[in-house]
Amino acid sequence: MPMECPRSPLLSTGSVAMTDALSSPLAAVDPALVEVTRGPLVESRHRGAVAVCTPAGELAAAWGDVDQRVFPRSAVKPLQALPLIETGAADRFGLSSRELALACASHSGQPLHVQLVAAWLDQLGLGEGDLECGAHPPIDPAAARALAAKGRQPSALHNNCSGKHSGMLTTALQMGEPTRGYIAADHPVQQRVAAVLGEMAGSPPAATPFATDGCGVPTFALPLSGLATAMARLAEPSALGQVRQAAAHRLRSAMAAHPDLVGGNGRLCTAVMRTAPKVLLKGGAEGVYAAMLPERGLGIAVKIDDGAGRAAEVAIMAVLHQFGAFTPAQERALRERFAPPVRNVAGKVVGELRPAAESFNR
């Protein structure tokens, strides 16, 4: 019988019980999902949990503790972008699928990303000074080197979250709300996002978010199964009403049409969506990855206990393989993504990252 995903409230600051729950020793209960080899031996193991859910909140599969609350970080960006469409902001300001893809993105700071965000803000009558996400160097090494070679410092436009923040500024303008301070937990923009996350994950939002994400906006600790349920509902939103159905379809279509904008060169999400447009991926910091399978109506959420992104990528690919997400040709094209090689300084292959056989061979 399918198991129902838990319905836990989003967290509020100062909750002693919640702090205790988040401090629990995850590695004591979660299985080893990914192992790292060097020569003939397994050198390291990454423990974690995986939830695969339906839009009704039923578990199709689970590894580890899927009731644990995790910060989904950037994996929820497609959910955070729903108000951009539902408020009418995207239509009022004439946003194309390119801007919608950027609203869902953790982009690499390549010129195409930076230029598109700058043009979007200019269309709003705003500029990079209105972004409150902070600045960091481009994720893309070539873009970072090119910027440094010109003697330029990175700006907020290079922040991987600048597309999401531009979407939030767009909704503020649409709703007649202040653009300054839009990242604050009590700002209407963030209250609106919190409500959407609660509805999609089946976890009613508390009045105050529990923590702050790297880009400054609130991040809610959701049950891992709740994150998977939210992704399933985004993948198959037929029970959510016409407005949300349309918004979900537009965001999914934008991600599939512009995988280069959702991530960038060399990124797993971009590589997979270029090869298999019917598989939608979004990663987050600290070992989180989420996926949508619209044709199957399934959502997947991964959390690696030690926060290793390299392990989250291998784990999500193993689960996608188990659920038949790829054709044989697509699997061949993505071969190295299932078991990435470990190389030494000279570039010689000395090992690999691979799914742990005891967890995924079933």
Tell me, what's the pLDDT at 6?
36
Q: If you average pLDDT over residues 90-98, what whole number do you get?
A: 98
Q: Would 72 be classed as within a structural domain?
A: yes
3-state helix, strand, coil in the chain (%, to 5): 45, 20, 40
Please report, for the domain that includes residue 262, its CATH number: 3.40.710
Tell me, what's the pLDDT at 210?
72
Tokens of 349: 């292959």
Instruction: Output DSSP code: residue 153.
Output: P
Give the three-class secondary structure for 40.
coil
CA distance 255 to 261: 8
Q: Would 136 be classed as within a structural domain?
A: yes
CA distance 311 to 309: 5
CA distance 33 to 303: 10
Q: Which domain holds residue 81?
A: 3-9+26-360
Q: Would 289 be classed as within a structural domain?
A: yes
Q: Would 19 be classed as within a structural domain?
A: no
Is the per-residue pLDDT at 334 higher than 50?
A: yes
Q: Which residue has the higher pLDDT, 121 or 359?
A: 121
Q: Would 232 be classed as within a structural domain?
A: yes
Residues 6+ apart with CB under 8 A from 258: 97, 98, 101
Whether 113 contacts 102, CB under 8 Å: yes
Instruction: Output DSSP code: residue 179.
Output: S
Q: What is the pLDDT of residues 20-36, one digit of tens each?
A: 444 444 545 899 999 99
The total of structural domains in the chain comes to 1
Q: Would 122 be classed as within a structural domain?
A: yes
- State which amino acid sits at residue 251: L
Residue with tokens 């390299």: 310
Q: Would 311 be classed as within a structural domain?
A: yes
Whether 304 contacts 45, CB under 8 Å: no
Euclidean distance between the first and the last CA atom of the chain, given in angstroms as a whole number: 18
Q: If you average pLDDT over residues 114-130, what whole number do you get?
A: 98
CA distance 16 to 351: 43
Q: Would 18 be classed as within a structural domain?
A: no
Is the per-residue pLDDT at 200 higher than 70?
A: yes
Among the ranges given (23-32, 55-64, 195-204), the one the predictor scored with the smallest mean pLDDT: 23-32
